[in-house]
Structure 1
Amino acid sequence: MDTTTAGGPGIPCWAQLGSPDPRTAAAFYGALFGWDFTEDPARGPGHLTARLRGLPVAGLGPVGDLPRPGWTACFTVHDTGKAAAAVAAAGGTVLARAAAGGVEDLYADPSGAHFAVREPDARQAPSAAAGPGGFALAELITDDVDASAAFYGALFGWTAGDPAGPLGRREWRLDGTPVSLLLPRPAAMPRETPPYWDAYFSVTDVAAAATRATLAGGTLLMPSTDIGSGSIAVLLDPMGAVLTLVEPRA
């Protein structure tokens, strides 16, 4: 498949939080990950860039065009115009196109899960994302694995691997390289929770980080759990956004 035509390459590159109170959210994530924050005028009033060791790791801002508070995973594309056409052709919805000089385009897939795309920009590269406290990966939680695989396959050229583990989690791959995860809705996930892209953030000790998060005002939704490649814990931040902590296995 020609992923240039479809808008590819589809590599996770950034995570952006939409929050009803970005400043309160910043206090939480600062306590959890050691982030500090600078104003991000390119995105508009109320937007912040989270930094770790002086390097950008994530963005925080108002809910804006999002259907609800939450983290949005962003993927690189060669051409945002081609990506917009590919999203529409595959059955997705345009939520917001960036104005001239803007940063990202926001979309919803056919299930309603929102995600963003942008062309690579070295000025905003999440340089610290490879280490603890950085955006590690994204996972789509969906009610229809086949439909999701078809949509993102058409958009980015991804292929879904075989289900693994008790929850049937799959790796999404691009040219054989893992780029994200695909998870059928777990039985414990409330039915009223719509499909969504979950943002994973790397930590060195997931149990200790989960405790730190609850002390900072977060809610533990799932305690430290082994998923084979490491351990994860799922949290709700004080403003209602879900996130996952991951302690990768060496």
Structure 2
Amino acid sequence: MSKNVTSKNRLTALITGATSGIGRATAHEFAKHGINLVLCGRRQERLDSVQNALSREVDVHTLNFDVRDKDATFKAIESMPEAFKNIDILINNAGNAHGLDPIETGSTDDWDAMMDINVKGLLYVSKAIIPNMTERKSGQIINIGSSAGKEVYPKGNVYCASKHAVLAITEGMRIDLNPYGIKVCAINPGLVETEFSQVRFKGGKAADNVYKGYKALQPEDVAEVIYFAVSRPAHVNIADVLMFCTAQASSTIVKKD
């Protein structure tokens, strides 16, 4: 995007889970290209930090809410200032994995957290944003899935189910929103070095060892692919991307030194 594009003419992107990892890296990538930002997350101090880092480059607004809370989600998005209300790009990035247990010993609290954030949260945010896109007959939605949405692996059960659901929702969105000219895409990373493992393994040595012995994808790698998808010409939609680090061949095969 040209550096001399005025703020009013810039695209605006809303990113969930913008306080860390892929979401934060995407905010930085978009800011480099002059895309105004609505950053969403549960940790206001982190939202403030990202906003302070990027507000010299683009206009930034923050929304502090949990996507699991339907009422809070709709209330937060409804509260956006007029200058940010027309969302051109929605990045449904908020998501997590809780626990790594076989189905017979899995925690229902973990199951609820994954389904509520990865599936229902994505739907709530999309429901709040899509009507404006359909009214304008323009927009792009990128749902951050996972390689776990492409294959099921041992002890992945409910997490894999949630990410398979993300892909099904993405395909359904693409079909339903096709008459409005809205692009819909899924970006599905494999192993990415973020705080993800700390949550999944609930801290400890197992979390520390996840990324040892090989070079995992970095959040910036995924952010660059996301920007590639949003920067294609109007007639091009990158519908689905599966990306691994070179060391990873599948969800269960990783070459380590």
With normalisation by structure 2, the TM-score equals 0.31
Q: Which one has a larger percent helix, Structure 1 or Structure 2?
A: 2
More strand by share: 1
